[in-house]
Amino acid sequence: MAVLPPTTPDSHPAALVIEFRNVGKIYRSLLGNSVKAVEEFSLQVGEGEILGIAGPNGAGKTTLIAMMLGYLRPTTGSVEINGMPARTYVERNGIGYLSELIAINPKWRADTALVRYATLAGIPESQIPAHVNTVIEKLGLAEHRDKKVKALSKGNLQRLGLAQALLREEQILVLDEPTHGLDPVWTQRFRDIVEELRRPDRTILIASHNLDELQRLADRVAIIDHGRLQRVVSTGYDQTQQTTTRFRLTLATGHERIRESFPHAEEAGKGEYDVTVRSIQELNTALADLMSRGALISSVVPERSVLEQQFREAVGESQ
Amino acid sequence: MSRARLARYSLWQFRDFVIDRGIAIMIIGLLWGYTLIAPMRAAMGAAFDVGPGSPAWPLVITVTSSVVSLSVLIALNGVVSADRKMGYYRFLFSKPVSAVAYYAQLFFVYMAGVLAAMLVLAVVLHTVVPTFKILNFLVYAAIIYIAMGGIGFFLSVATRFDWLTLAAVWLGSRILRDFYGDTPGWKSKVVELLPPVHKLTEVSMSIITSGTAHAGAVVWLLGYGALFLALGLLLLHRGSLAD
């Protein structure tokens, strides 16, 4: 089995699970017009990894996922899962997939829809009721199980979509805009569910506009724009990274000492200061200095997450 | 394993057929049969005796064979294209299932559904016209399902407007064959490639009446449909499910 290089110096190499190899997709109309949806996209995803895919609308995220599930054939390049062509892998093993648009026959009942998908997923008939009840319980759909799909609200439909993706213990999960339409309570619950799903032998892909969500859930985030991979960002804080970052500091006491430690601090409100540093070491050194001068710090918050900063740079560069 | 789970899923496919298409086929078949045969029966009174050789027999053949053609059109309308248009394929085929096997099974489950509907209609007709042979009619329905349905299936894979396209191909072939089928020259040769709709009248009259037909005509009809069914499955295998 092929392995990926470690993503961080202290991590182990992961077995390669998904590989996009120089993938391109051009949509052609009957009139001869063509649109390049994805271009020269190469990326490897390892076992146990949660990979985020971020990009503006029309960046090519959904096209990439459609090629990964074998619903679309790449115009150039290939997508392989565990060394097999993507469609072959899906037909043999299945993938837990939540699509951006939840398309379930509106005439089906919520619970029978899950029974149908469970049957196709190959869950033994005797175990289907237990699997269906588990996901219904997990996704809070008990009071809606008898309803027709067309009677479900957007949020409940989204949860039903997620429920069908979780029916079986899949090795690969692909979640396209998973919190789209969910209320804040279920958005938080979804994050907990994804954390519960994290396993060393499971690979999860999450495509989302929500950078905060990806920052919290993903190990790495592939930023794409105009169908091209712009960069891959590790969401953990890289100690070696030298990037200018702005933080908002809130002080309980010692306001008068702030400029002794942060000479360029800008006042942002009552007891709040914006400071700019070039590295996390510089920030910690200055904070230690400030505390040694008697100041009490109540919070230090980055103005933007690492991912948000990288996203702005990547998408800005490609415009 | 994959076959077993698909076989289990066939019960859901059959249920969908009954609810979405079977009921419509039954209603249309009953209404059509009733509106054409009931007035004839009322007019003839005690003299109503429709059997092979009677003047009313061709009407029975026309009505029943038309019901079969219409049923096939209803059964296979959107059989593949609707799932693609509506996006239902996304969740169905993220499961460990081959789209080719799924739709091949669907084709034959719907065939069973059409034959079941035709059986009910044939039993009803048989009570009115005792000389009407149920088994002959079912054989005819099966042949037409393969012949016409195979083309319909291919069109459902290849286009989004399969019902309309199939009706156009079927009707267009009939018209072009009537115009150019017996003329000398290249036009008659090209027309030969079109669906063998010209065989239908001969085959329907012969099979429904006597249970037999010219083997060449039947093979031509079945072969043409089977070829397009295979082409449709090949296109599913080679092409993309998403647009």
Write the secondary structure of chain B as one string of H (helix), E (strand) and C (coil).
CHHHHHHHHHHHHHHHHHHHHHHHHHHHHHHHHHHHHHHHHHHHHHHCCCCCCCCCHHHHHHHHHHHHHHHHHHHHCCCCHHHHHHCCHHHHCCCCCCHHHHHHHHHHHHHHHHHHHHHHHHHHHHHHCCCCCHHHHHHHHHHHHHHHHHHHHHHHHHCCCHHHHHHHHHHHHHHHHHHHCCCCCHHHHHHCCCCCCCHHHHHHHHHHHHCCCCHHHHHHHHHHHHHHHHHHHHHHHHCCCCC
Q: What is the CATH number of domain A245-318?
A: 3.30.70
- Of the partner residues A71, A91, A107, the one whose CB lies closest to the CB of residue B242: A71
Q: What is the pLDDT of residue A319?
A: 55
Residue A146: which pLDDT band, with cuts at 50, 70 and 90?
Answer: very high
Q: In the predicted model, is pLDDT for residue A302 greater than 90?
A: no
Identify the CA nearest to B111 among candidates B199, B209, B22.
B22
Q: In the predicted model, is pLDDT for residue A266 greater than 80?
A: yes
- Of the partner residues B1, B9, B19, the one whose CB lies closest to the CB of residue A120: B9
Q: What is the pLDDT of residue A97?
A: 96
Q: With an 8 Å Cβ cutoff, are B19 and A66 in contact?
A: no
Within an 8 Å CB–CB cutoff, is residue B98 touching chain A? yes
Q: With an 8 Å Cβ cutoff, are A125 and B19 in contact?
A: no
Q: What is the pLDDT of residue A293?
A: 92
Work out the minimum CA distance from B134 to partner chain A, whole angstroms.
34
Residue A122: which pLDDT band, with cuts at 50, 70 and 90?
Answer: very high
Domain boundaries, chain B: 2-238
Within an 8 Å CB–CB cutoff, is residue A204 touching chain B? no
Phi, then psi, of B53 in degrees rounded to 5: 100, -20
**Bridging pattern class, strands A203-208 and A172-176:** parallel
What pLDDT, in 10s, does the model give residues A271-301?
Answer: 899 998 888 888 899 999 999 999 999 999 8
Residue A243: which pLDDT band, with cuts at 50, 70 and 90?
Answer: low
Q: Specify the higher pLDDT residue, B58 or A241.
A: B58
Within an 8 Å CB–CB cutoff, is residue B19 touching chain A? yes
Cβ burial of A316 (10 Å; 0-12, 13-18, 19+) is exposed
Q: What is the pLDDT of residue A317?
A: 60
Q: What is the pLDDT of residue B100?
A: 96
Within an 8 Å CB–CB cutoff, is residue B23 touching chain A? no
Q: Tell me what the pLDDT averaged over chain A comes to.
A: 89
Work out the minimum CA distance from A243 to partner chain B, whole angstroms.
41
Radius of gyration (C-alpha) of chain B in whole angstroms: 19
Average pLDDT in the A43-58 region? Answer: 93
Within an 8 Å CB–CB cutoff, is residue B3 touching chain A? no
Please give the CATH architecture assigned to the domain spanning A16-234. 3-Layer(aba) Sandwich (3.40)
Can you list the residues of chain B whose pLDDT is less than 50? none
Work out the minimum CA distance from A2 to partner chain B, whole angstroms.
24
ipTM, 2 decimals?
A: 0.88
Q: In the predicted model, is pLDDT for residue A65 greater than 90?
A: yes
Q: In the predicted model, is pLDDT for residue A9 greater than 50?
A: no
Size of interface A-B (CB pairs under 8 A): 80
Work out the minimum CA distance from B208 to partner chain A, whole angstroms.
38
Domain boundaries, chain A: 16-234, 245-318
Residue A61: which pLDDT band, with cuts at 50, 70 and 90?
Answer: very high
Work out the minimum CA distance from B19 to partner chain A, whole angstroms.
10
Predicted model pTM: 0.85
Nearest chain A residue to B11 by CA distance is: A116
